[in-house]
Structure 1
Amino acid sequence: IAPALEAIGKIRGLPDLTAFVTGQHRAGTGADILFGIDSNQDYENAQSVITFAGRGALGLPDRDYYTKTDPKSVEIRNKYVEHVARMFQMIGETPDAAKQHAADVMSIETDLAKSMLTRVELRDPHNLFHKVQRTRLQAMTPSIDWNAVFPALGLGGVDTLNVTEPAYFAALETQLRTRPMAPWQSLLRWNVVRDAAPYLSADFVKANFDFYRKYLRGTPEMQPRWRKCVQWVDRDLGEALGQVFVEKTFTPETKARTVTMTREIEGAMERDLKELPWMGDATRQQALLKLHAIVNKIGYPDKWRDYSALKITPDDFAGDADRAISFESHRQLAKIGKPLDRGEWGMTPPTVNAYYDPQMNDINFPAGVLQPPLFDPKMDDAPNYGNTGATIGHELTHGFDDEGRQFDAQGNLRDWWTPKDAQEFQQRADCVSTQYSGYTAVDDIKINGKLTLGEDVADLGGTLLAYYAWKHATEGQQLKPIDGFTPDQRFFVGMAQWACGDMRPELKREMALTNPHSPEQYRINGVVSNMPEFAKAFACKAGQPMVREKPCRVW
Structure 2
Amino acid sequence: MKTNTSKFIIAGALAMVFGQQFSGRAQSHPANDPVFQNLDKSVSPGADFFRYANGTWLKNNPIPPAYSSWGIGNVVSEDIRSRLKKINEDAINANAAKGTSTQKIGDFYYSGLDSVNIEKLGITAISEPLAKVDQITDVAGILSTVAYLNTVGARTFVSAGVGQDDKNSSKMMLQLNQGGLGLPNRDYYFKTDARTTKIRTDYTEKYIPNMFVLSGYTDEQAKAAAKSVFTIEKALADSSRKLEDLRDPYHNYNKMPVAQFNKLTPNINWKVVFTNMGIPNVDTVIVGQPEYYVAVNKYLKTFTIADWKAYLRWKVLTSYAPYLSKSFDQENFRFTGTVLSGRKVQLPRWKRVLDTENGIMGELLGQLFVQEYFPLKAKQRYTDLVEAIRQAYREHIAQLDWMSPETKQKALYKLNSIHAKVGYPDKWKDFSKLSIDRGSYAVNVMHARHWAYLNNINKLGKPVDHTEWNMTPQTYNANYEPSNNEITLPAAQFIIPGIKDEDIDDAVVYGYSAASTIGHEITHGFDDEGRQYDAKGNLKAWWTAADSVKFTQRAQVLVDQFNAYKVLDSLHVNGKACLGENIADLGGIVLGVDAFKKTKQYKEGKLINGLTPMQRFFLGYAIGWLGQQRDEELAGRILTDVHAPGFLRVNGPFSDVPEFYQAFGIKKGDAMWIDPDKRVKIW
Q: Quick check: TM above 0.5?
A: yes
Query: CA separation in 2, counterparts of 1:445 and 1:91?
Result: 37
For 1:478, the equivalent position in structure 2 comes to: 604
Structure 1 residues 283-298: aligned runs within 5 Å: 283-298=407-422
> Which deviations, in whole Å up to 9, do the C-alpha atoms of 1:94-140 show, x marking residues without a partner?
11111111011111110111111111011111121111111112122
Give the corresponding residue for 1:543. 669
1:50 counterpart = 2:173: yes
Tell which structure's C-alpha radius of gyration is larger. Answer: 2
Cα distance change of structure 1 residues 121 and 384 upon mapping to structure 2, 3 Å threshold? same
In structure 1, distance between residues paired with 2:592 and 2:644: 20
For 1:39-188, what aligned pairs fall within 5 Å after superposition? 39-82=162-205, 83-188=207-312
Counterpart Cα distance in 1 of 2:361 and 2:493: 19
Q: TM-score, normalised by structure 1?
A: 0.97
Give the distance between the partners of 1:309 and 1:3, measured in 2 at CA. Answer: 21
Q: Distance in 1 between matches of 2:552 and 2:262?
A: 39
TM-score, reference length from structure 2: 0.79
1:61 aligned counterpart, secondary structure: coil
Q: CA deviation at 1:371?
A: 1.6
C-alpha offsets along residues 394-434 of structure 1, whole Å, 9 cap, x if unaligned?
A: 00110000000000000000011111111111111111111
In 1, are the aligned partners of 2:507 and 2:602 still within 8 Å (CA)? no
1:417 and 2:543 are equivalent in the alignment: yes
2:462 matches 1:338? yes
Cα deviation, residue 375, structure 1: 8.3
Alignment partner of 1:8 is 2:133:
yes
Kindly provide the amino acid, as one letter, of the partner of residue 205 in structure 1.
D
Q: Tell whether the 8 Å contact from 1:375 to 1:387 is kept in structure 2 after alignment.
A: no
> CA contact under 8 A between 2:146 and 2:158: conserved in structure 1?
no
The verdict on how the C-alpha distance between 1:476 and 1:485 changes in structure 2, with shifts beyond 3 A counting, is closer
Deviation at 1:62, TM superposition (A): 0.3
Contact 1:363 1:396 in 2 (8 A): yes
Distance 2:274 2:505 in 1: 56
Distance of 2:428 and 2:640 partners within structure 1: 32
Cα distance 1:3–1:312, how it changes in 2: closer, same or farther (>3 A)?
A: closer
Gaps of 5+ in 2: 1-125
Q: How does 1:484-523 map to 2 (within 5 A)?
A: 484-523=610-649
Q: Equivalents in 2 of 1:375, 1:444: separation in Å?
A: 43
| Distance change (3 Å), C-alpha of 1:49 and 1:213 | same
Aligned residue in 2 for 1:392:
518
Q: 1:380 corresponds to which residue? A: 505
* Structure 2 partner of 1:23: 148
Supply the AA of the counterpart residue of 1:276.
Answer: L
Map 1:399-410 onto structure 2 (within 5 A). Answer: 399-410=525-536
User: 1:23 & 1:166 partners in 2: Cα distance?
Assistant: 22
Q: Which amino acid aligns with 1:4?
A: P
429, 434, 456: which is aligned to 1:305?
429
Partners of 2:602 and 2:613 within 8 A in 1: no
Q: 1:524 maps to what in 2?
A: 650
Deviation, structure 1 residue 475:
8.2
The offset of 1:206, in angstroms, is: 0.3
Question: Aligned residues: percent identity?
Answer: 39
Distance in 1, Cα, partners of 2:440 & 2:614 = 55
Return 5+ residue gaps in structure 1 as ranges.
none
Q: How many Å apart are 1:54 and its aligned residue?
A: 2.1
Give RMSD over aligned pairs: 1.4
Distance across 2 between alignment mates of 1:319 and 1:487: 54
Q: Is the 8 A contact 1:38 1:332 kept in 2?
A: yes
Deviations 1:443-463 (A, max 9, x none): 110000001111011111101
Q: Is the 8 Å Cα contact of residues 406 and 415 (structure 1) preserved in structure 2?
A: yes
Q: Choose the corresponding residue for 2:441, options 302, 313, 317.
A: 317
Secondary structure, aligned partner of 2:475:
coil
Task: Report Cα offsets for 1:363-383 as digits up to 9, x if no partner.
Answer: 110011122249832121101
| Match of residue 563, structure 2, among 433, 437, 442 | 437
- In structure 2, the partner of 1:237 is 361
1:270-318 per-position Cα deviation (integer Å, ceiling 9, x unaligned): 0000110000011111101110110011001110111111111123211
Q: 1-side partners of 2:320 and 2:409: how far apart?
A: 51
Q: Which amino acid aligns with 2:127?
A: A
1:269 paired residue number? 393
The 2-side partners of 1:197 and 1:468 are apart by: 50
Task: Identify the residue that residue 553 of structure 1 maps to in structure 2.
Answer: 681
Q: Which whole-Å CA distance do the structure 2 matches of 1:285 and 1:236 have between them?
A: 42
Secondary structure of the 1:472 match is coil
